[in-house]
Structure 1
């Protein structure tokens, strides 16, 4: 989708009443060159594909996500009309959207929106409209706004994935790297294939149990610290019985970081002297117990302790089993280590690519970084194994 154009919903770049005509009137292609015609056809195909992507995402979503995505889909459909008008009679001949757009349409129909939105965020950051004089200035401006819309929607999914996903990715990566290094080091010392296999199995079990236990303690401790630091609703319960002359309620808000003026304002609210929060300078809010994203809520970004432990255990084990697969199937010696390195390399590229995808960064760059780190650790351990082998000899 690197070469795909994207124009953006007028509702998100200006007041909702703005008419599509502000994108500029598209003149029919009377004096256009063949290169322009081809480019506009490609733009039209991409806009139509994106309208379908957002429509499918919207239909599989709920709440405000559904509303926003369907409105963006409508906007993309309107933008495609710009290129139809620009093409005039040349619009009768259509072209297929890019391969990446077709893949995104498939993913939007069959997979969760967080993955597709992450890909869309990266794709939306690359647009030819800024440099193309045939695109209206408003459409180019919409591009930047549209990327921020996608970023905001994708962030909700990232927040809910970040805790357990972090544990899963770290678990898989640790299993891959640590057990590959263990197998490579053991193989380099001259151990038999059977001993290398049992060493790898022991490393798998020990590492998975250790990772699971560590994640459980880490997440549980972090949640307890956050819960201990979150404000409570006690101010509402005891406010009627407070000594108004001493007014210690104001000290609570001062302790939470408010200025003296803002704290005094909040006290008047709590005691009923003000029936609304009419001070626009106040950024502090008491936590709403029903708001899961507020301080004192469920800390969704952390995940749960059992979920993090389970993810870490399972993914460490799934990663750690890959380096010992050649030995499980009867291979040995140098060939077993070469095959293990190849299998782990593919897995590291996948885990790194997933991290890059969800973070909106380049999947290839993140995958190569994971590969370099993993291979570096394995080669270093192999060299140490050779040293010990020489020492024993």
Structure 2
């Protein structure tokens, strides 16, 4: 008598689909691991091994028969291709979203452990992606804000002036002036902003020479606890931590305390960025964004044709920057893109209507 296979035809088709996705996701993590070293490499290989356990589960339900296994879904295939070519923060951000979409929590044939794995995988990938986000945060923030400010402010300027009916040459030179003025202002503003932030944080950092006083502190009175309390620790935790630090100093007969002895919190230099990098990023990206609304006029278009072309070009750029921010933040790229588009074109529409009104009044 022939043994009947597990599950119905639809069940087996679903299991094969899961099997394909697990294999593809494991391949993504292996590709990413090949471009990393140290701890990150080990974590990614561990994720690939976990996906391998899930693959074995579906293969067991299929009695080892993987014939007819389909290709992985388009998102996972795209992730694999990106991981193979780039291995970047964008891939980790996409992988984070992919893990969050796992259907195992509601699938009767997936184990509770597998569903829990997928949720934890999402947090692991979020942690890995956050490292890249911190490295990008300072300059990337300036770049995104600069590009969007350039797109929106110069489109608004060009549409507002163009709607008044002035010659195309006036609109062109107004747009170029807006580009230069805005780029210089953004660059200077970002430099001052980041430098000020760093100076404020440095002023709040512990004085390294204060550690020299620790060997002479009264271990019973322990004034050091007040330092930790002033920096945000609860009273009891501050007392215990201070006692531990002073005891270590006295026991070792050190002339200086451990390097973290006066530190409770610290700032992340990578996340803040440098004043110069933020200024250069802001200048270049504002200029690149502000150039787009001017392009139709540079190529000789005038009137409604120039206005429509500028609006379409800026709309495409706004969709791209919004989607990029969405990808990096692990949110929906489509929603972020549409939000960026609505905000940017909404602001430009207001100035265009004002330009029409002023043009009519002048006429």
Fold match (TM-score > 0.5): yes
Cα 1:259–1:88 change in 2 (3 A) is closer
1:47 maps onto 2:33 in alignment: no
Indicate if the aligned counterparts of 1:212 and 1:309 stay in contact, CA closer than 8 A: yes
The 5-angstrom pairing of residues 56-71 of structure 1 reads: 56-71=31-46
Q: Give the one of 206, 223, 230 matched to 1:255.
A: 230
SS at match of 1:321: helix
Q: Determine which of 71, 81, 84 is the counterpart of 2:56.
A: 81
Query: Counterpart in 1 of 2:298?
Result: 328
- Tell me if the contact between 1:227 and 1:296 (Cα under 8 Å) persists in the aligned partners: no
Give the aligned partner of residue 123 of structure 1.
98
TM-score by length of 1: 0.84
Distance 1:225 1:119 in 2: 35
> Matches of residues 285-324 of structure 1 in structure 2 within 5 Å?
286=261, 295-296=265-266, 298-324=268-294
Find the aligned partners of 2:117 and 2:221 in 1 and give their Cα distance. 55
Q: Is this contact kept in 2: 1:231–1:296, CA < 8 A?
A: no
Shift of 1:256: 2.4
Which residue matches 1:91? 66
Task: Give the CA RMSD over aligned residues.
Answer: 2.2
Distance 1:287 1:133, change over 3 A: farther
Question: Is the 8 Å Cα contact of residues 287 and 296 (structure 1) preserved in structure 2?
Answer: no
* Separation of aligned partners in 2, 1:390 and 1:273: 80
Deviation at 1:100, TM superposition (A): 1.5
Q: 364-373 or 237-246, which moves further after superposition?
A: 237-246
State the distance in 2 between where 1:352 and 1:248 align. 51
Counterpart for residue 377 of structure 1: 347
* Mean Cα deviation higher: 78-87 or 240-249: 240-249
Residues 1:90 and 1:236: Cα distance change in structure 2 (over 3 Å):
same
Task: Tell me if the contact between 1:37 and 1:90 (Cα under 8 Å) persists in the aligned partners.
Answer: no
Supply the distance in 2 between the matched residues of 1:254 and 1:130 (Cα, whole angstroms): 44
Q: Distance in 1 between matches of 2:74 and 2:355?
A: 46
Deviation, 1:262, is: 3.6
Task: Look up the match of 1:109.
Answer: 84
**How far off is 1:243 after superposition?**
6.2
Q: 2:316 matched to which residue of 1?
A: 346
The alpha carbon displacement at 1:391 in A equals 1.3
- 1:36 is aligned to 11
Superposed CA offset, 1:323-345 (max 9, x none): 01111111111001001000000
Counterpart check, 1:232 vs 2:207: yes
Range with bigger deviation, 245-254 or 344-353: 245-254
Q: Which TM-score applies when normalising by structure 2?
A: 0.91
Q: d(CA) in 2 for partners of 1:135 and 1:49?
A: 18
**Cα drift, residue 146 of structure 1:** 1.1
Q: Whose helix fraction is larger, Structure 1's or Structure 2's? A: 2
Going from structure 1 to structure 2, the CA distance change for 1:167 and 1:286 (only over 3 Å counts) comes to: farther
Kept in 1: contact 2:219–2:243 (CA 8 A):
no
